[in-house]
Amino acid sequence: MKNTIKIQRAIKNITQDDLAKVIGVSRQAINAIETNKYVPSTLLALKLSAFFEKSVNDIFILEEGD
């Protein structure tokens, strides 16, 4: 599953650490999600979408075979 978190962070001009603190996870978790090493829980995906004021589908893109 691809995501646009890095792009969304750039738009808001925030670091992984800043986002992690707001969402309540580690910077490493944000990095793992951005690099597609970790698929977030539904709750975490909803928190991210609320923070960025985007739909979950705007942030997470389901690919063929996922």
Average pLDDT over residues 2-17: 97
User: What is the pLDDT at residue 66?
Assistant: 64
Letter string b/e over residues 16-51, b meaning 16 or more CB atoms within 10 A of that residue's CB: beebbeebebeeebbbebbeeeeebeeebbebbbeb
Q: How far is CA 12 from CA 1, 6, 32, in A?
A: 22, 10, 20
3 pairs with which residues across the strands? 60
Q: What stretches of the chain adopt beta strand conformation (E)?
A: 2-3, 60-61
User: What is the pLDDT confidence band of residue 65, given thresholds at 50, 70 and 90?
Assistant: confident
Complete domains list, the chain, with CATH: 2-61 (1.10.260.40)
Average pLDDT over residues 2-23: 97
**29-64 tens-digit pLDDT:** 999 999 999 999 999 999 999 999 999 999 999 887
